[in-house]
A = this chain, B = another copy of it.
Amino acid sequence: MRSNKQKKLEAKGWKIGSASDFLKLSPEEEAYIELKLSLCKTLKRLRTKKHLSQNDLAKMIKSSQSRVAKMEAGDSSVSLDLVIRSLFSVGVSKKDLAKAVSSAT
Residues of A at under 8 Å CB distance from B? 27-28, 31-32, 35, 79-81, 84-85, 88-89, 94-95, 97-99, 101-102, 104
Contact = CB atoms under 8 A, between A and B. Distances in A.
Contacts of A85: 28, 32
9 contacts: A28-B89, A31-B88, A32-B85, A79-B79, A79-B80, A80-B80, A94-B101, A97-B102, A98-B99
Contacts of A98: 98-99, 101-102
Contact of A32 (B84, B94, B101): B84
Please report whether the interface of chain A is mostly helix, strand, loop or mixed according to DSSP. helix
Nearest to A86: B28
Contacts of A81: 32, 79-81
Nearest to A28: B88
A35 to B, nearest CB: 7
